Chains A and B, each alone.
Chain A
Amino acid sequence: MIINKFHKITVLLLSFLSLSLSVLSEPHFKSLKLKEIYMLLPGNICRQIENLSSSSVKSQIIDAKSIIPNHSLSIRFNQNKQVVHIGLHIVFNSLEDPYQEVYDYMERTLLYYALLKDKDRIIKKMGEEQILLKYNQQNLPANQIISVLSSFHFDQDTELRLDSNEDSFLASWQMKNSTFLQMGFPNNYTVICGRTKDVIEREIMDELQANAIPSVLIGKTDQSDLEFYHDELYVKKGKILLDYPYINSDTYYMKNKDGSCNPVFNQKYFKESTANIFQNLIRTNQKIIITHKLYGNREEQFTLNLNGFLNFFSADYHTYFGWQRGDSSEDLVASMFVKNQIFNFMHLLIIKTNSNLILNKNSTIEGTLYTFIPQNHISL
């Protein structure tokens, strides 16, 4: 009897221990969507992911024939060993590709449908995310997704074309046997990245503080690009934001005696000089205290080198600048609109300053930042 009781307690303890171990070994995920997918995976694949997450592996391709014949899974981890991607391995590209998040979304979504299995749930989810799947120009029925994907062999030679506009993406695969698969979906960043606005706001705040490396845009300005503006000033016309001619990416120059030209930076032309600063043409030691307006009526402050802040957005964004108040040098209010070139969202920085402060290369200015403002299907 005593032995039996002891045995029961041991079994209970062992069960508890194994349960605890299994909880402890569950990987961390960058988004809830990834966790949802993980929960749907077969046990053997979950265990492989758990093992990988405890190693120093950054990315791995693992066999997925238990989910879908002839296919592999692509799994990636970040430096914190968080799972950042799980998807059907159908895109073969460099991770430096600016469209990486789009490819991840496609891989993740098709894996999710393969795991859902139930036709009605797939139809519902496709409707919710407004996803269109076509096979040889015909709509692909939900119950045929797995069989069609199984018949496809994706590799380095598979031709993938990605078309996009402000509102949507369209991926088209052309197979060697002339079959054709297409996947269309909205250009909606929070859906594509699989994280909500509150999460990505905090991520960009961390990234800014870690990666805002000071650098300015030094490009040779060809005189033929310049138009006479007024007095001694010349303008290099940039783009206009929407239909607003005064919100643009124009930059301003003065010509030297030798015929060369430099971006203007002086008190006399404080407005044009300020525009040049925010187009990151002026090397400065200035700092900017950013008040980041976050989801839930919260805000956080952090300080960055101004060139570092502007340089952070130089690769994937286009910057537009406009004045809210600019008649008096003592009271300047401007807006900087930073539009992402791939995804249809914008960041907005509002600066309240004066000309003495903004033109002092050792000063600290202040700005209010709003991030990830969607621009899809908007008529303003």
Chain B
Amino acid sequence: MNTLTLRFPILKLIIAVFGSLLISIAGLTQITKVDVVLTGGVEDQALKKKIEINLEKLLNKINTSYEAESQKLNLSGNWFSDGFSKEIEEFWEHSHFYCKLHQINENVIFENFTGYYTIRNIPIVLNSGDTTEVKVSFLNEGIIDGFSIAIGRVQYKNSMKYTCTIDLTRKEIILNFMENMKTAYIKKDIDFIESIYSDKALIIIGKKSKIQEAGNSGDGVRLSLSQEKIEYIEMTKAEYIERLKGVFQRNSYINLSFDSFQLLKHRKYDDFYGVTLRQRWNTPTYSDVGIMFFLIQFQEDSLPKIWVRTWQDEKSVKDSSVYGFADFIIR
């Protein structure tokens, strides 16, 4: 994790400086072939090779189409999804562009939240002369499934302005909903809590407990060691609500707070949003800090609905194993 946080700003800086040189040269030189060399992030060598080949295919197809001033990209083959083809053609229709690097040296990042392998920071030059960076997303088999452009860098579509506002409005409504949900736990408002979960919701709760183990210090003195044990339980909505009623009864107060929010829209299902956050749960006799994932359905005329609620212990869960979109199938 440290390597990533240190490495990315440096990489971006190099690309920005190198990129600005290329912009001035691009008008004078021909657009050339792009090679992709992945520097890490995926252990499966076959998958790594496939991602390299497919990204090369895409970027070279884009560059040759740009040079030929083609009206359409006309991608063919089975190295990309139908959705991706439609998405990139739509973009191409609005603005032609090309990749300005001869070689892409990037890490693959697996986004557990979305379930995609992604390559970021791919610099492109638009017809208008604007430069920006794109992110390409791959399915498990290395098939290209997504292409997204850095928001705020380029104004590539008129409809973008509407999409932005709709997106932020919905996200704010979901954040409002999350705050109301937090309030409901503090107020022990079981009726409201019951109303916000789908009857078919999948709920994973966890509980920390301490187990005492006898140990030996080595010099004959017996020690009593205390170890934390995390127990995870999968529940239906009815089971969860019943358990929660007991928690509310047993505790004079419930105090919880949320932070480190991450809120994303599902790539395929427009009305579904994923929220990960850190929850601090405090009662007079029990406290824990957990990483939570909520799969929430946005509904235009009624309250959002929770379909998935998971809790994982903050200390023991690794970033890559935090629940996300990829762990749940929406049918």
Interface residues of A (CB under 8 A from B): 124, 127-128, 130, 186, 188, 190-191, 196-198, 240-247, 293, 295-297, 322-326, 334-335, 337, 346, 348, 350, 370, 372-380
Once the chains bind, are B162 and A335 in contact (CB under 8 Å)?
no
Q: Which of B123-131, B227-235, B256-264 contacts A (4 or more CB under 8 A)?
A: B256-264
Q: Is the Cβ of B262 less than 8 Å from the Cβ of A379?
A: yes
CB <8 Å contact, A372 and B179: yes
A346/B165 contact (C-beta < 8 A), A188-B257, A296-B192 known: no
Say whether B164 contacts A247, CB under 8 Å.
Answer: yes
Q: CB < 8 Å: which of A188, A196, A297, A372 contacts B186? A: A196
Residue of A nearest to B166 (CB): A324
Q: Is the interface of A mostly helix, strand, loop or mixed?
A: strand
Task: Note all chain A residues with C-beta closer than 8 A to B303.
Answer: 297
A322: B residues at CB distance < 8 A = 161, 164-165, 168-169
Partner of B172, one of A127, A188, A346: A346
Q: Find out whether the CB atom of B195 lies under 8 angstroms from the CB atom of A324.
A: no
- Sample (20) of A-B pairs whose CB atoms are under 8 Å apart: A128-B280, A196-B183, A197-B179, A197-B180, A242-B168, A243-B152, A245-B152, A296-B180, A297-B195, A297-B302, A322-B168, A324-B165, A326-B162, A337-B172, A372-B179, A373-B172, A374-B175, A377-B259, A378-B261, A380-B263
Q: How distant is A364 from chain B, measured CB to nearest CB, in Å? A: 22
Is B199 part of the contact surface with A, judged by Cβ < 8 Å?
no
Q: How far is the CA of A337 from the CA of B167 in the complex (A)?
A: 13
Chain B residues with Cβ below 8 Å from A379 are 261-263
* Contacting residues of chain B (168-190) with chain A, CB-CB under 8 angstroms: 168-169, 171-173, 175-176, 179-180, 183-184, 186-187, 189
A378 and B175 contact, Cβ closer than 8 Å, known pairs A128-B255, A243-B152, A296-B192: yes
Q: A325-B162, A378-B261 are in contact. Are A244 and B168 (CB under 8 A)?
A: yes
Which residues of the partner chain B approach A128 to less than 8 Å between Cβ atoms?
255, 257, 280, 282, 287
- CB distance A348 to B183 under 8 Å? no
**Would you call A380 and B171 a contact (CB within 8 A)?**
yes
Complex Cα distance, B158 from A246, in Å, reads 10
Given contacts A247-B165, A380-B263, contact A370 B280 (CB under 8 A): no
Tell me whether A323 and B168 are in contact (CB under 8 A).
Answer: no
Chain A proximity of B248: nearest CB distance (Å):
15
Q: How far is the CA of A370 from the CA of B170 in the complex (A)?
A: 11
CB A184 to nearest CB in B, in angstroms, measures: 15
Chain B neighbourhood of A188, CB < 8 A: 257
**For the complex, what is the distance from the CA of A331 to the CA of B171, rounded to whole Å?**
22
A323 and B162 within 8 A (CB): yes
Whether the Cβ atoms of A335 and B168 lie closer than 8 Å is yes
**In the complex, residue of chain B having the shortest beta-carbon distance to the beta carbon of A244:** B164
Whole-angstrom distance between the alpha carbons of A322 and B187 in the complex?
35
Closest to B178 in A: A374
Structural contact, B179 and A350, CB atoms closer than 8 A? no
Which 9 pairs, one residue from A and one from B, show the smallest C-beta to C-beta distance? A246-B161, A322-B165, A377-B259, A378-B261, A243-B152, A335-B169, A373-B176, A197-B183, A244-B164
Tell me if B160 counts as interface (CB < 8 A to partner A): yes
Bound-state Cα–Cα, A192 to B162, Å: 35
- Minimal Cβ-Cβ distance residue in B for A297: B303
CB-CB contacts below 8 Å: B128-156 with A: 151-152, 155
* B interface residues, Cβ below 8 angstroms from A: 151-152, 155, 160-162, 164-166, 168-169, 171-173, 175-176, 179-180, 183-184, 186-187, 189, 192, 195, 255, 257, 259-263, 280, 282, 287, 302-303
Distance between A91 CB and nearest chain B CB, rounded to angstroms: 25
Q: Given B161, B195, B263, which contacts A323 in the complex, CB threshold below 8 Å?
A: B161
**Which residues from chain A contact B192 at a C-beta distance below 8 Å?**
295-297
Evaluate contact between A335 and B165: CB separation under 8 angstroms: yes
Task: Give CA–CA (A287, B183) in the complex, Å.
Answer: 32
Asked whether A198 lies within 8 Å of B183 as measured between CB atoms, the reply is yes
A295/B180 contact (C-beta < 8 A), A128-B282, A245-B155 known:
yes
Contact A296 B189 (CB under 8 A): yes
**Distance of B165 from chain A, by nearest CB (Å):** 4
In the assembled complex, the Cα of A325 lies from the Cα of B159 at a distance in Å of 9
Instruction: Give the CA-CA distance A335 to B184 in the complex, in Å.
Output: 27
Cα distance, A198 to B259, chains bound together (Å)? 20
A346 and B176 alpha carbons, distance in the complex (Å):
10
> Apart from A191-B257, A323-B161, what 6 extra A-B contacts exist at CB < 8 Å?
A297-B303, A322-B165, A323-B165, A324-B165, A373-B175, A378-B175
Other-chain residue from A240, A373, A376 in contact with B259 (beta carbon distance below 8 A): A376
Q: Bound complex: CA of A244 vs CA of B161, how far in Å?
A: 8
Distance between Cα atoms of A372 and B172 in the complex (Å): 10
Contact A337 B168 (CB under 8 A): yes
Chain B neighbourhood of A243, CB < 8 A: 151-152
CB-CB under 8 A from B155, the residues of chain A are: 245
Given A322-B165, A324-B162, A377 and B261 contact (CB-CB distance below 8 Å): yes
Residue numbers in A under 8 Å from B302 (CB-CB)? 297
B contact residues around A190 at 8 Å (CB): 179, 183
Give chain A residues whose Cβ lies under 8 Å from the Cβ of B162: 246, 323-326
- Residue from the list B161, B175, B184, B287 in contact with A127, Cβ < 8 A: B287
The answer to whether B165 and A244 touch across the interface, beta carbons within 8 angstroms, is yes
Instruction: Tell whether A246 pairs with B160 under 8 Å between CB atoms, given A295-B183, A324-B165.
Output: yes
A246 to B165, CA, bound (A): 7
Are A247 and B168 closer than 8 Å at their CB atoms?
yes
Chain A residues closer than 8 Å to B261, beta-carbon distance: 376-379
B187 touches A196 (CB 8 A): yes
Q: Which residues of A contact B287 (CB under 8 A)?
A: 124, 127-128
Complex CA–CA separation, A296 to B189 (angstroms): 9
Choice from B160, B169, B180 contacting A324 with Cβ under 8 Å = B169
Across the two chains, which residue of chain B brings its CB closest to A346? Answer: B172
Cross-chain contact A380 with B169 (CB below 8 angstroms): no
Q: Which chain B residue shows the least CB distance to A372? A: B179
A322 to B171, CA, bound (A): 14
When chains A and B are docked, how far (Å) is the Cα of A82 from the Cα of B64?
A: 74
Chain B residues with CB under 8 Å of A293's CB are: 176
Q: Roughly how many angstroms separate A214 CA and B183 CA in the complex, as a whole number? A: 33
